[in-house]
Structure 1
Amino acid sequence: MFTGLSAFPLTPVSAAGFDERGFIRLLARITAAGADSIGVLGSTGCYAYFTRKQRRHIAEVAKAHAGEIPIMVCVGAVSTDKVLRLAEDAQAAGAQALLLPPVSYQPLYEEEVFELFSTLSQHVSVPVCLYDNPRTTGFTFSDALYARIASLPFIRSVKMPGLSSSPAEVQARIRQLKALLPATMTLGISGDASAGVGLNAGCDVWYSVCGGLFPQAAKAITDAAQQNDTARVRQLSEQLNPLWALFSKHGGSIRVMAAAAGVLGLTAADCLPRPLRPLSARDTEEVATVIRHLGLQ
């Protein structure tokens, strides 16, 4: 469940609401590429913009169209009660794992975050991935908190933010974390631009935005990592530098991926929930040019 490529697709919307047909088209690309798991309703999946009822329906659709690929469903919410209800819904929908970011309107203390994970671990029957995303949650995990949470039942992976571009620094960081955490826990890299460096340094899984739309390209990188072909991982990742540059230019991946999905005809050109807005026509054309240049059709 927590190795290889975990592909995180958009959850597209239309004027009528959740774009189920578009979502199914995205899932079909992921299943055809043979991803190792699918991350549903992650940050790129816009979990925070949907109601509880919508989130359960989206999880059910994902489960129905994932084939044999296991799904992990994000249960992030601003209150513990909501997290528990979302976890109940996700498990009822057939999720094989849950993803939990420490979301809150008020800044959280470490003890509060520990209590959140501890409470969830007492109410689930599937493994949980700790989602460390300080850019969106405003919370930064300490190594000591990583270790405390890792000691809880059902906590099985960490979805880390992007790391340094220095291979030596990343290798040292991964060694440090693996020495700190139990052997039953995997380390996953997100932040697609640093995924190649992370995989070469020993990360077990790539929690991939790119994999949610361009799964073949992402799968090639993770396959090379599993074969310990570090040169191939580096080469394939660097080939995608124009895509990573677009992520940086537009403050993250979400608007770029939404534009790309529209360019490919998988979703409407405007498929983001408000108040998120699509890229301008000029920026969308730049996305289209990068897709063509990289052969990401």
Structure 2
Amino acid sequence: MFTGLSAFPLTPTDEVDIDEKGFARLVARLAAAGVDSIGALGSTGGYAYLTREQRARAARIAVEAAGEVPVMIGIGALRTPEVLALAEDAQNQGASAVLLAPVSYQPLTDDEVFGLYEDVTKELSVPLCVYDNPGTTHFTFGDELHGRIAALPNVGAVKIPGIPAEQAPERIASLRGSLPDGVALGVSGDQFAAAGLNGGADLWFSVIGGLLPELCLSITRAAANGDPDRATALSDRLQPLWNLFRRHSSLRVTSAAAEHLGLIDRPNLPRPLRGLDPNVRKEVAAALDALGVRA
């Protein structure tokens, strides 16, 4: 479950509801490409903007469209009872794992975050991935807290932010030393993924992998096959996309890219989020065309 490439697709929406056909299409493309797992309802999947009922339907659609590919479902929410209900829904819909970030409005303490994971993991029958994403949660995990949480039952992986190449081997080795044996360590932050994989991470939790799986699989496989130079070179080809991610956010750029490829309609982001302006859309289209990407 927690190896290789875990691809995170958008959950396209309009002003009323989920675009179920569009979402199924995105997930089915990933399964056909041979990704190792699919992460539905992550940050790219817009989980925080959807109701419980919408999230349950999205989980069902993802599992059905993925076929034999395991699906991890995001269950983050503000209150612990909501998280527990979402975890139950995800498991009932056939999720192979769940993904949990410490979502909050009031800043959380370490003990409060530990208590959240303690409450949730004891109710699970599938593995949980700890979602360390300070850019959205504004909570920073320390290694000691990661170790405490990873020792809880049913914790299968930790998802950490991207790490620059020169820091990746030391950072990954240090954090791995705090985790129990058998808990996988994965990186996000797509522009840093090759560095993380080359530095010893077990898997890449990828935004752009949810749209361009073949390119991301080539990077992942190169790193796994002991060819770090090739993994880095393949990642460098995507630099125009990484630049756009930094300027406009990975979610908005991926939304525009999916539209350009004719995979989803517009609008597809939940208000108040809005898509990119026409000039930036042209940059996104040019970056995809330069890569030779077609739907």
Identity of aligned residues (%): 53
1:289 aligns with 2:286: yes
Q: Is the 8 A contact 1:63 1:93 kept in 2?
A: yes
User: Where does 1:1-297 land on structure 2 (aligned, <5 Å)?
Assistant: 1-166=1-166, 169-250=167-248, 252-297=249-294
1-structure distance, mates of 2:292, 2:247: 21
Q: Please report how far the alpha carbon of residue 16 of structure 1 lies from its aligned counterpart in structure 2 after TM superposition.
A: 3.9
1-structure distance, mates of 2:266, 2:288: 15
1-structure distance, mates of 2:279, 2:235: 26
Number of equivalent positions: 294
Q: Is the 8 A contact 1:259 1:270 kept in 2?
A: no
Q: Please report how far the alpha carbon of residue 122 of structure 1 lies from its aligned counterpart in structure 2 after TM superposition.
A: 0.8
TM-score, length-normalised on structure 1? 0.97
Q: Is the 8 A contact 1:258 1:270 kept in 2?
A: no
Q: Is the 8 A contact 2:15 2:270 kept in 1?
A: no
Q: Find the residue that maps to 2:205 and give its secondary structure.
A: strand
AA paired with 2:129?
C
2-structure distance, mates of 1:99, 1:24: 20
Measured against aligned partners, the alpha-carbon deviations of 1:139-193 in whole angstroms (never above 9, x if no partner) come to 0001110010011000110110111242xx2111111112221121111000000
1-structure distance, mates of 2:150, 2:171: 17
Name segments (4+ residues, structure 1) moved above 2 Å: none
1-structure distance, mates of 2:87, 2:15: 28
1-structure distance, mates of 2:278, 2:198: 37
AA paired with 2:278?
A
2-structure distance, mates of 1:148, 1:102: 15
Q: Is the 8 A contact 2:14 2:266 kept in 1?
A: no
**Residues 201/165 of structure 1: CA separation in 2 closer, same or farther (3 Å cut):** closer
AA paired with 1:145?
L
Q: Is the 8 A contact 1:263 1:269 kept in 2?
A: no
Q: Please report how far the alpha carbon of residue 226 of structure 1 lies from its aligned counterpart in structure 2 after TM superposition.
A: 1.4
Q: Please report how far the alpha carbon of residue 224 of structure 1 lies from its aligned counterpart in structure 2 after TM superposition.
A: 1.0
1-structure distance, mates of 2:268, 2:65: 20
TM-score, length-normalised on structure 2? 0.98
Q: Is the 8 A contact 2:97 2:128 kept in 1?
A: yes
Which runs of 5 or more structure 1 residues have no equivalent in the other structure?
Answer: none
Which runs of 5 or more structure 2 residues have no equivalent in the other structure?
Answer: none
Q: Find the residue that maps to 1:39 and give its secondary structure.
A: strand
Q: Please report how far the alpha carbon of residue 225 of structure 1 lies from its aligned counterpart in structure 2 after TM superposition.
A: 1.4
Measured against aligned partners, the alpha-carbon deviations of 1:64-108 in whole angstroms (never above 9, x if no partner) come to 110100000000000000000000000000001000000011000
Q: Find the residue that maps to 2:94 and give its secondary structure.
A: coil
Q: Which of 185-194 and 25-34 deviates more?
A: 25-34
AA paired with 2:250?
S
CA RMSD of aligned residues (A): 0.8
AA paired with 1:75?
I
Q: Which of 196-205 and 17-26 deviates more?
A: 17-26
